[in-house]
Amino acid sequence: MDWLQVLVFPTIRALILIFVLLTGFAYLTWYERKLLARFQIRYGPNRAGKYGLLQPAADAVKAFFKEEIIPNHVDKPVYLLAPALALAPALIIWAVIPIAKGIPAIADVNIGFLWILAVAGIESYGVILAGWSSNNNYSLLGALRSAAQMVSYELPLGLFLVSILILAGSFSLVELVESTRLWWEWIWLWLAFPFFFICILAETNRSPFDLPETENELVAGFQTEYGGMKFALFFMAEYINMITTSAIMATLFFGGWKGPFAEEIIWLGPIYLVIKVVLLLFLFIWVRASIGRPRYDQLMKFCWQFMLPLGLVYMSISAVLAVFLK
């Protein structure tokens, strides 16, 4: 059936994916709180269920039953739209990420890389609009910081993506993972990983680059006027973004679903991907626990005076390598 192929199957796949991601989000909050507690020699959540494993469920119930408050001074349609716009890009980027041999999450399009760049481009809308529609100086300042930060760090991020693309020779992420790389390609690629990771930290507004919501300067930045479920949506957006970007980094730098026997046994692919994502998420939390926040001008200076030239040099060398060694 025509419409079954076009509409129903992708919808079911998308719903399963969203369910998995939302569960992942819930347990990522638990994972982060437990890890942060360990870094600070505390126990972390340990009351709800064994090892506090029911804590995410308790948090969800709490967020659902909070009173929905919409302040009088906000621009109502945009104020309500912003949390949804923040969450949606984090989910739709998953469409092109391969989860097993030959199987993308939703679709194998020939613009996989560009899809990532495009979605990264619209990611900042939720934050900007939240800040503006809240009609509050702290929110607006947070939003402006965030917009400048995300737009700036998109440039080096894009340059590193283009370099990987030049070496891979295909826009499709499914083909990227399946192609065999030479040993020097892996080494060259891993040299870029720390810098790519820094860009990702800035793009996801994660600590140490969480300047849009610095609590000691801007109350809570762009999300000051949000409460209850609407705040939970922003929270969700940030954490699902962490999962999504970890999956992208696993796909680009660490072979995605690849692992021992993953080619023969299809269902091992997603498991390897999840293991790699969990390890990368550990990196996010490790950085948050260890590094303090830079000043805002330091952040921008670092991007424009260090990351961007570095990205350009890296891209040029990648192009030369691709022409002469492949």
**How many residues interact with other proteins (rule CB under 8 A)?**
35
CB of 158 vs other proteins, minimal distance in Å: 9
CA geometry: angle 123, 77, 146, nearest 5 deg: 30
The amino acid at residue 83 is P
* Rounded-to-integer distance, Cα 234 and Cα 56, Å: 16
CB of 243 vs other proteins, minimal distance in Å: 22
User: Under 8 Å CB-to-CB from 81, ≥6 apart: which residues?
Assistant: 129
| Binder of other proteins out of 79, 132, 209, 254 (CB under 8 A) | 132
CB of 157 vs other proteins, minimal distance in Å: 12
Q: Is the peptide bond before 71 cis (omega within 30 degrees of 0)?
A: no
| Binder of other proteins out of 32, 93, 105, 154 (CB under 8 A) | 154
* Rounded-to-integer distance, Cα 80 and Cα 229, Å: 11
| Binder of other proteins out of 147, 248, 252, 277 (CB under 8 A) | 147
CB of 217 vs other proteins, minimal distance in Å: 11
CB of 298 vs other proteins, minimal distance in Å: 9
Stretch that binds other proteins, among 96-104, 105-113, 189-197, 318-326 (CB under 8 A): 105-113
The amino acid at residue 323 is V
* Rounded-to-integer distance, Cα 8 and Cα 299, Å: 45
With binding defined as CB under 8 A, does residue 124 bind other proteins?
A: yes
* Rounded-to-integer distance, Cα 211 and Cα 85, Å: 20
Instruction: Give phi and psi for 70, each to the nearest 5.
Output: -115, 110
Q: CA Rg, the chain, in Å?
A: 20
The amino acid at residue 156 is P
| Binder of other proteins out of 86, 91, 143, 161 (CB under 8 A) | 143
| Binder of other proteins out of 16, 111, 279, 317 (CB under 8 A) | 111
With binding defined as CB under 8 A, does residue 171 bind other proteins?
A: yes
| Binder of other proteins out of 114, 220, 274, 312 (CB under 8 A) | 114
CB of 164 vs other proteins, minimal distance in Å: 15
| Binder of other proteins out of 12, 57, 62, 110 (CB under 8 A) | 110
With binding defined as CB under 8 A, does residue 296 bind other proteins?
A: yes
* Rounded-to-integer distance, Cα 240 and Cα 245, Å: 8
* Rounded-to-integer distance, Cα 304 and Cα 301, Å: 5
Q: Is the peptide bond before 83 cis (omega within 30 degrees of 0)?
A: no
Residue 81 neighbours by CB distance under 10 Å? 16
With binding defined as CB under 8 A, does residue 167 bind other proteins?
A: no
With binding defined as CB under 8 A, does residue 6 bind other proteins?
A: yes
With binding defined as CB under 8 A, does residue 115 bind other proteins?
A: yes
Report the C-alpha dihedral over residues 53, 54, 55, 61, rounded to 10 degrees.
160
Residues 63-102 that bind other proteins (CB under 8 A): 75, 77-78, 81
Q: Toward other proteins, which CB reaches closer, 121 or 208?
A: 121
With binding defined as CB under 8 A, does residue 316 bind other proteins?
A: no
Of residues 119, 66, 105, 118, the one with CA closest to residue 233 = 66
Enumerate binding residues for other proteins (CB under 8 A). Answer: 2-3, 5-6, 75, 77-78, 81, 107, 109-111, 114-115, 117-118, 120-122, 124-125, 128-129, 132-133, 140, 143-144, 147, 151, 154, 171, 295-297
